[in-house]
Structure 1
Amino acid sequence: MLAGESHLWGRRALEFVDAADRLDAPSLVRQFESHIASAGFSAYIMAALPAPGAGLAELTLANGWPRGWFELYVGRNYMAVDPVPRHGAATVQPFEWSDAPYDRKRDRAAHQVMTDAAEFGLVRGYCIPLHYDDGGAMISMAGEAPDLDPTAKGAMQLIGVYAHNRLRSLNRPKPQRRLLTSRECEILSWAAQGKTAWEISMILRIAERTVKFHLIEASRKLNAVNRTAAVAKALSLGLIRL
């Protein structure tokens, strides 16, 4: 890859990162698809890693696979034997599809997945595994002859991670302010500023035991183990602000 091309990929990735948080889901997906297409990737999928009892459709965050391939993949339950997500669950490093280990002779089902994928133009692929505290996911993209230069792959990783995280955030259920009462939000707001229950009771001119009751109720509703956790969760959900 020429130095100019390397610089171009870096600029594209940074421009996407800068814009991602301001884009809605359709705009984000269009830009993501445009960027990966520039690198020769004609198809992709963003999905949670395989989980017992969960089908691919319900695990999928964004689907850019050919329709026929997706239907075949689901219909034949290829998720159970596909070496790519299997390897993605075991590593934190991005990898090319060809690096996902399997024995062609002993693991014929895995080899069949890769053979069938190639018939849909998914000859060479790149997978970006993501691991969160509450589970894992992967961004898998492929094409007939994509650019797998290290610089291009680095750009795809950055673009993919930001696209996935933004879509994940947009798809997260929006908090309902009714989750907490106005009084509970008010008390948590003061708690977030470091005020004790007694100090809050003086500020709001209510009994200290009433303040403690509301803190306990707010913690219960937020499924938080204590007051500090309740404050942190309320802040992250946008229920209160500092």
Structure 2
Amino acid sequence: MSVGASHEWGRRALEFVDAVGRLSAPDLIEKFEAQIAAAGFHAYIMAGLPAIGSSLTDLTIANGWPEAWFEIYEKENFCQVDPVPRHGCSTVQPFEWSEAVYDRDKEPQAHQVMTWAAEFGLKRGYCIPLHYDDGGAMISMAGSDPELDPVSKSALQLISIYAHNRIRALNRPKVPRRGPLTPREREILKWAAEGKTSWEISVILDLSERTVKFHLIEASRKLNAVNRTAAVAKALAWGLIKL
């Protein structure tokens, strides 16, 4: 790569990082797609790392795969045999798809994934794994003959991380502004999350059952939850209580 091209990728990455915090989700996706297209990538996906029983649809936060390929991938449950996300679970370093090794004889399904992907023009790919305290994710992009020199890969890594984190933040549920839960409401919701009934919670906390139910109703109202089960789910998702 020439010095000029190297500087161009550096400029692209810095401009993207500078702009990303001001972009809405649609504008961010459009800008991200333009950046990876400049390197020869015409398809991508941002998704959580696979777990047993998970589907790609459930894990995906941004989908730029060919629609037909995504449908096949889900129908055949390729998420469980694809060597690329499997390798992403075991490394913190970005890697090319070719580095996700597998045994063609012992893992015919893994080979089928890569063969079918190539038929959709996804012949060479680059994957950036991300690992958080609460799980992991990956940004995987592909094309027929993308630019995979060290400079462009470093720039794409930076761009992808910022894009993913911004989308993740935009998708995160916002805590309602009706007012914070009181310590007592949090305490009662925590016991409810552990499966305790209103009567059992009243015994544990030395309160009347009527008082416990009142606090559960108030917590549900503040969380815009239709019932105590929904209130518990929202409180856990928003980090208001922990098990």
What TM-score, normalized by structure 1, do the two folds share? 0.76
- Match of 2:150? 150
Structure 2: runs of 5+ lacking an equivalent: 191-237
Q: Greater CA deviation, 172-181 or 118-127?
A: 172-181
SS of the residue corresponding to residue 61 of structure 1 reads strand
CA contact (8 A) 1:179 1:221 kept: no
User: Could you tell me how far 1:131 is from its partner in structure 2?
Assistant: 0.3
Change (3 A) 1:174 1:102: same
User: Could you tell me how far 1:221 is from its partner in structure 2?
Assistant: 8.3
Q: Residue type matched to 2:142 in 1?
A: A
- Match of 2:131? 131
- Match of 2:103? 103
Alignment partner of 1:65 is 2:73: no
- Match of 2:9? 9
Aligned residues: 192
User: Could you tell me how far 1:54 is from its partner in structure 2?
Assistant: 2.1
Cα distance in 2 between the residues matched to 1:46 and 1:166: 12
CA contact (8 A) 2:129 2:136 kept: yes
Cα distance in 2 between the residues matched to 1:135 and 1:69: 26
Q: Residue type matched to 2:25 in 1?
A: A
- Match of 1:90? 90
CA contact (8 A) 2:52 2:80 kept: no
SS of the residue corresponding to residue 178 of structure 1 reads coil
Q: Residue type matched to 1:23 in 2?
A: L
Cα distance in 2 between the residues matched to 1:110 and 1:221: 48
Cα distance in 2 between the residues matched to 1:176 and 1:101: 46
User: Could you tell me how far 1:175 is from its partner in structure 2?
Assistant: 1.1
Change (3 A) 1:55 1:222: same
- Match of 1:178? 178
Q: Residue type matched to 1:4 in 2?
A: G
CA contact (8 A) 1:180 1:218 kept: no
Give the root-mean-square deviation of aligned CA atoms: 1.8
Deviations 1:104-130 (A, max 9, x none): 121111111000000000000000000
Cα distance in 2 between the residues matched to 1:95 and 1:82: 15
Change (3 A) 1:221 1:150: farther
- Match of 1:79? 79
Cα distance in 1 between the residues matched to 2:107 and 2:143: 24
